[in-house]
Amino acid sequence: MLGLSLPLAASHVSLNLPTPRTGPSGVSAAGQCTDGECFWFSQGCQPGCANCTDGFKSDGNCDTEMEPTLPAKAEYRTYNDIKGYDWTKHNPWRSPGHAPVFSPCGLAGGGPINHPENGATARQTGYSQGVDALGLPSGPVVEWAQGSEQEVGWSITANHGGGYAYRLCARRAGRVDEACFQAGHLEFVGAESWIAREGGAERTAIAATRVSVGTHPASSTWTKNPVPACDMGDGSGGVGGGFNCSGAPPQFAPPLPGLYGYGSAECFATLGGNCTRAQEATVRERFHFMVVDRVRVPRGLPAGDYLLSFRYDAEQTPQVWANCADVKVTAAASTASVEAA
C-alpha cells in the first residue's frame, strides 16, 4: 500500500441552482466560495461503513468497507491508479450513493470536529462547526410543476473528482432524512450537460457520462464530474499548493480545451478554451462556471413543499458534499417558474 498524503482541506463543491439554504453561490462566486456555501459536507464517509467518522483517512475508516460497485470502466473513473495501486477504491464515488452521510444537506465544516485543516468554519459559513444545514431556515423557494424539466447546477472550488445526483424529499415532520432523499432520486434529461458562465447565458454543451449500474438506490442515475483534476500523484494543486496543475496533464480528457485543474483551469480564457501554448504558461483562471443539467420532476409526484438535495460523492477523498434548496411542486397545469441558470 502506498503512503499518500491527501489534500483534504481545500475540498469543495457547491449547489448553485436553485439557490441553497446555505446561501447564494451564483456563478460569479463559483470557484471562490465567498459565502462559505462549499463548506457543507460529511467527512470520513466510506461505502460499507455504518457511519461517517469525521476522520481524514481515505482508507480503513471501518472494518466493513465495500469493494467498488461502479463498473470497472475507465470512462467512469475520475482519478487514476498510482503505480498500479487502486488507492480510491474505498471512497464514495467508487460505489455511488452507498456511503453514509452525517446529513443529506451537509454539516458546517464536515462534521462535529473542528479540524484546523478545514479552516475557520464560523468565518467561512457564518455557523459553528457541525451545524446541520437540514435545520437551517428555508431559503428562496422555486416552483417546479409535475412532469416538468428543470435546470440545476453546481460549481467547483477544489476538484476531488467523483460524481453527483439530485434528490427530492417532501417536507413532512419526522421523515426528512437521507432515506427519504434516496427514495426521491430525479432522472437526468438527455445525454448532455452544459458549462455555463456569466449568469448562465454563455454556455457550451458537453457530453455527460451517466451511470445507473452499481449505484444506490439500485438503478438510480448519477453523473460523473466532467472536469478532470491534475494527473500528478494524488491529483492536488500545483507547485507551492497552488490550484493549477503546474503543467501536469489532466486525469482524463477534458470536455473543453484546457478545462481541467484542481481549482483553476489550465487554459480557459474563453468558454471554449482556444488558448495558445504560450498563453498556457500565464493564463490561470479560477473555475468561474457552473456544470448545468436538466432533471425531470415526476408527473405523479404529489404537489407540496419539498427539499432538493444535491449529493456529490468524491473519489479522491472520503467526503460527501451536499446542499439543500427549497422547492414547491405544483400541479402539472400550473406554470412552473424555472430559476435562471
Q: Look up residue 169 and give its three cell numbers.
A: 424529499
Residue 57 CA to its chain's centroid (Å): 20
What was the pLDDT predicted at 202?
Answer: 80
The DSSP bridge partners found for residue 193 are 206
pLDDT of residue 274: 47
Instruction: List, in order, residues 6 or more apart from 298 with CB less than 8 Å away.
Output: 146, 147, 186
What φ, ψ does residue 122 adopt, rounded to 5°? -60, -40
What is residue 265's predicted lDDT score, i.e. its pLDDT? Answer: 67
Burial label for 69, CB within 10 Å (0-12, 13-18, 19+), is middle
**What three-state secondary structure class fits 262?**
coil
Q: Is 3 exposed, middle or buried (0-12, 13-18, 19+ CB in 10 A)?
A: exposed
pTM: 0.88
- Element (H or E) spanning 66, and its range? none
pLDDT at 57: 76
Per-run averaged pLDDT (10 residues), the chain, 341 residues: 35 85 56 64 94 83 92 95 91 98 94 70 78 93 97 90 97 87 97 83 91 98 95 59 68 88 65 48 66 97 97 95 96 55 37
| 142 touches 148 (CB < 8 A) | no
d(CA 170, CA 317): 30
Q: Which residues contact 266 (CB under 8 A, 6 or more apart)?
A: 244, 245, 250, 258, 260, 280, 284
Beta strands in 126-228 (DSSP E): 141-145, 149-156, 163-170, 187-188, 192-197, 202-207, 210-211, 222-224
pLDDT value at residue 123:
66
Nearest to 225 by CA among 8, 7, 28, 12: 12
